[in-house]
Amino acid sequence: MNHRQIILPQSEMPRQWYNILADIKMNPPLGPDGNPIAPKDLAPVFPMNLIEQEVSSERWITIPEPVMDVLSIWRPSPMMRAISFEKALDTPAKIYYKNEGVSPPGSHKPNTAIPQAYYNKEFGIERMTTETGAGQWGSALSFACAQFGLSCRVYMVRISFDQKPYRKAMMETWGGQCVASPSTETKAGRDALARDPNTPGSLGIAISEAIEAAVSDTSGKTRYSLGSVLNHVMLHQTIIGLEAKKQFDMIGDYPDIVIGCAGGGSNFAGLAFPFVSDKIHGRDIAIYPVEPMACPTMTRAPFVYDHGDTAGYTPLMPMHSLGHAFVPPPIHAGGLRYHGMAPTVSQLITEGLCEPKAVTQTEAYEAGVLWARTEGFIPAPETTNALAQVVKEARQAKEEGREKTIVVSWSGHGLLDLGAYDRYFSGELNDIAMSDDDLQKSQAVFADYPKPKPMKSTP
């Protein structure tokens, strides 16, 4: 049977998140003294209820009812079979996608924005600060804060702020305030502008600004929120993969290949981690996080201790990193322009449980346009990177004459990214690859930091 849509009844919506820390071993984050940080060290930045989730080793964490109520506006999200895409590729592969573009902001990001806003509200917080690259996360947190009566200030990477003006309008519609980063509001922003007045900005700089704005509020009523990288974010996103597993059960199938684009790791982890759990316990499955060649964090950068932000406000985290001073080129997949990768995703890569891939900007947009002309939905530039890898896997299945089942996280729509498509059709988008020399230079910032120890997950 050709299942175009696999709709999970709302009564079957997962009521718990999956915590991968129950199944893997991790190096701890380190403080300025080189020692592991304690939960209290994070208290000025995050509310303690989220810090408890960040360090929890419980495998299952219950989703609060107020969070379930808001998530049920659009969840469970449909899993759909890309039948027309398959035909265009003339592949024996079955291609399924988890459509996260159906949320109000149009991406997977509200899956964690909603619980983060809820936990902050429960802790007595009144204001939240954050960064955003392409604007998906800033839009999602503005939406979430509106649901729970919080104010929201978003530092948006300058190049994306200029490229995507309607993201700012979305944030403002939900009551968020959007500031181009680097800004003159913070020391981190002013320092970045002093180094390069024409900088396109970076997620690392924007994170520094948002953290500084949170911790400098003497009232204690402001906290910072991160849309990717940290474990509690990955945890909240696993509702994607948990739903997908139930949807595959409904049709009596299971994927051979799981694919998601990865900047900081959140949408990839959301789909993949429940399947990684199966792989740890013996299931044969290929799992591919995909990034742009212009920002090759997973495919070319080492696994090291590094800061998650440019100013060094965050702890040292064990992750694949291009160096916290790295400023990526201004590609249109703004959500994939991050120097680091989630520690959990990085650990899985070091163990071979996930195999990272990289694609060019041209490959990504070619796949995105083919998708739009077959499946109808216009994907976000970030999502096109995952689709480019789907194309490669589908063509390999054809070469091998093997029927494979592929599932991809369709992380968001591109209806506010049409300027990038216009540039693609005009031939103005170029393929950018990081040079070996630039790669070597970018690593100097963590040369003297401690080194992560080898860790091995066990069933």
End of a domain among 196, 231, 266? Answer: 231
Same domain as 40, residue 156: yes
CATH at 407: 3.40.50.1100
Please spell the DSSP secondary structure of 208-224, one letter per residue: HHHHHHHHT-TTS-EEE
CB atoms < 10 A from the CB of 161, how many? 25
Q: What's the pLDDT score for residue 334?
A: 59
CA count, 13 A, side-chain hemisphere, 216: 12
Lowest mean pLDDT across 97-101, 227-231, 363-367, 455-459: 455-459
Residue 4 lies in a domain: no
Residues 122 and 91 in one domain: no
Percent residues over pLDDT 70 in the chain: 98
Residue 1: pLDDT band (50, 70, 90) is very low
Contacts 24+ apart (CB under 8 A), 84-88: 84/374, 84/375, 85/370, 85/371, 85/374, 85/375, 86/394, 87/374, 88/370, 88/373, 88/374
> What are the tens digits of pLDDT across the range 95-105?
999 999 999 99
Looking at the fold, whether 262 and 127 belong to one and the same domain comes out as no
The reply to whether 143 falls in a domain is yes
Q: Is position 116 within any domain?
A: yes
For residues 391 and 272, membership in a common domain is answered with yes
Cα separation, 55 vs 147, whole angstroms: 27
In a domain, 2, yes or no: no
- Residue 204's pLDDT band (cuts 50, 70, 90): confident
Q: How far apart are CA 433 and CA 122, in angstroms?
A: 45
- Of the given ranges (142-151, 310-319, 359-368), which has the lowest mean pLDDT? 310-319
pLDDT digits (tens, 9 = 90+) for 11-62: 999 999 999 999 999 999 999 888 999 999 999 999 999 999 999 999 999 9
- Report the alpha-carbon distance of residue 67 to residue 77 in Å, rounded: 16
86 and 59 part of one domain: no
| In a shared domain, residues 148 and 90 | no
Residue with tokens 């945890």: 235
Say whether both 421 and 410 belong to one domain.
yes
Shared domain check, 250 and 101? yes
Report field, pTM of the whole predicted structure over 0.75:
yes
Inside any domain, residue 1:
no
Give a yes or no: residue 306 inside a domain: yes
Question: Residue 94: inside a domain, yes or no?
Answer: yes
**Cβ contact 315:30 at 8 Å:** yes
Q: Which of 200, 231, 262 is the last residue of a domain?
A: 231
422-436 average pLDDT score: 88
Decide if 378 contacts 368 (C-beta within 8 A). yes
Kind and range of the H or E element at 143? Answer: helix 136-148
| Domain end point (choices 205, 231, 257) | 231
Does residue 310 lie within any of the structural domains? Answer: yes
The predicted-structure confidence for 261-318, as pLDDT tens digits, reads as follows 999 999 999 999 999 999 999 999 999 999 999 899 999 999 999 998 888 888 999 9
On the question of a cis peptide bond just before residue 329, with omega within 30 degrees of 0, the verdict is no
Alpha-helix residue ranges (DSSP H) falling in 227-265: 231-237, 239-251
**Residues 415 and 268 occupy one common structural domain:** yes
176 shares its domain with 244:
no
Residue among 152, 148, 127 at smallest CA distance from 219? 127
Mean pLDDT of 414-425: 91
pLDDT for res 104:
97
CA distances from 452 to 194, 318, 449 (A): 33, 6, 10
Confidence at residue 322, expressed as pLDDT on a 0 to 100 scale: 94
Average pLDDT of the chain is 93
Q: What is the pLDDT averaged over residues 172-184?
A: 96
In a shared domain, residues 244 and 203: no
Quick one: tokens of 249? 């059960």
Report the number of distinct structural domains present in the chain: 2
CA separation for the pair 285, 451 (Å, rounded): 30
Identify any residues that bridge with 96 across adjacent strands, giving them in sequence order: 81, 407
**Full residue range of the structural domain in which residue 376 is found:** 74-106+239-446
∠ CA(396), CA(401), CA(402), 5° rounding? 80
Per-residue pLDDT tens over the stretch 181-191: 999 999 999 99
Evaluate if residue 330 carries a pLDDT over 80: no
Residues 89 and 207 in one domain: no
